[in-house]
Amino acid sequence: MMDERVKKILELAVANKASDVHLIGGNVSKLRVAGTLMDLAQSYQVSTEELDKMILSMLSEKQRETLVEKMEIDFSLEVAGARYRVNVYRQKGTLAVAFRVIPMEIPQMESLNLPEILKSFLELKQGFILITGPTGHGKSTTIASMLDRINQHRACHIVTIEDPVEYLITPKKSIISQREMGTDTVSFDNALRSALRQDPNVVLVGEMRDLDTIRAAMTVAETGHLVFSTLHTNSASQTIDRVVDVFPEGEKEQIRIQLASVLTAVISQRLVPTVEGKLMPAFEIMIANSAVRNTIRESKSFMIDNIISTSADLGMMSLETSLASLVKQGIISDEEAMRHCLRPEELQSRLRERVLKNA
């Protein structure tokens, strides 16, 4: 039975609209609220021994065996009116745990301030759409919102392969199969090969972690399905390089050709603190038009930034354009924009344009 102290801490996290909870025995327990870590009250601090008991109370016998064998484990948990993605790990020879809070209700795309162009991707029958960005910047929420919109408007079979399952998607017009690593399948690439025999229309690969998963995901997209996945990369050009670089040297040319043919878009996002203390997404959007496909095939990913900057009429957007727009609207400060940009010179240029127009 789960320790009551775990439930109380998670209830506190939900009440404070926290995104994460960190418990490390002998350290100060913390919540992350609007991107900032905050100390929990003294009554919620736990010793190493207490935390061991709290963590073990959440685990099944099989999960305990996995933790002993691998010294870390990911799983999902439902308690205190919310779901959680949980990672138990070892540090300095003791157990620690990080919880990611996942709301029970999937937010609508409009409430997340997602760009309108993203809706057009959801009408496609086939493609490969990558959502990228640092950890904790809303990739899972964006994908869940996009999948739920498909679920609301199209009669599809949506298959998700996750580690662990995060948002629970309630079937509407679509049927939903959500498969969790370790519980429903042994690996991403096995699940993807099996997915081809499950009559899917839309497939989510929770994260492309290795060569076999990337290869299988591209094959699923190539065989006539709409595939979504995530990568921990900072930009579209870095995403292309990361995918290609995973493969052995002798395969890179063929992979560039395959990736160029299946890729639909790369959406890189950041959650930026607003002047009101909330979080607002900023985006880089690359759409795989003929120019982008050529740069991928010819191993010239360094040209992608320029293509994005000069293709606003096609719906593409640089991160700096998105940040400058948020500054112009008074949503974020100049300082936060600079803190989150990739190309400071470009952002400064766009902010100067704002000043000149207002002069």
Give the max Cα distance, the chain. 67
Q: What is the pLDDT of residues 311-330, one digit of tens each?
A: 999 999 999 999 999 999 99
H or E stretch including 180? strand 175-180
Q: What is the pLDDT of residue 182?
A: 86
Q: What is the pLDDT of residue 82?
A: 85
Sign of torsion, CA 325 328 330 334? positive
Residue 357 has pLDDT above 60, yes or no: no
Q: What is the pLDDT of residue 355?
A: 54
Residue 213 has pLDDT above 50, yes or no: yes
What domains does the chain contain, in order, with CATH numbers?
A: 4-102 (3.30.450.90), 117-317 (3.40.50.300)
Residue 356 has pLDDT above 80, yes or no: no
Q: What is the pLDDT of residues 270-310, one digit of tens each?
A: 999 999 999 999 999 999 999 999 999 999 999 999 999 99
Residue 359 has pLDDT above 50, yes or no: no
Q: Nearest-5° angle of CA 347, CA 348, CA 350?
A: 65
- Report, as an integer, the average pLDDT of 255-282: 96
CB 189 within 8 Å of CB 215: yes
Residue 238 has pLDDT above 90, yes or no: yes
The number of beta carbons lying within 10 Å of the beta carbon of residue 103 is: 14
Task: Report the first-to-last Cα separation within the chain, whole angstroms.
Answer: 65
- Report, as an integer, the average pLDDT of 250-264: 97
Q: What is the pLDDT of residues 20-53, one digit of tens each?
A: 999 998 888 999 998 899 999 988 899 999 999 9
3 state DSSP class of 265: strand
Name the amino acid, one letter, at 326.
L
User: What is the average pLDDT score of the chain?
Assistant: 94
Name which residue leads in pLDDT, 338 or 103.
Answer: 338
DSSP 212-242: HHHHHHHHHHHTT-EEEEEE--SSHHHHHHH
Query: How far, in whole angstroms, is CA 153 from its chain's centroid?
Result: 23
Residue 77 has pLDDT above 80, yes or no: yes
pLDDT band of residue 347 (cuts 50, 70, 90) is very high
Beta-carbon contacts of residue 34 (< 8 Å; ≥ 6 apart): 17, 273, 277, 278, 279
Residue 107 has pLDDT above 60, yes or no: yes
pLDDT band of residue 354 (cuts 50, 70, 90) is low
pLDDT band of residue 2 (cuts 50, 70, 90) is confident
**Could you give the residue ranges of the DSSP H alpha helices within the chain?**
4-15, 48-56, 61-70, 117-121, 139-153, 188-195, 211-222, 236-245, 252-262, 290-297, 304-309, 319-328, 334-340, 344-358
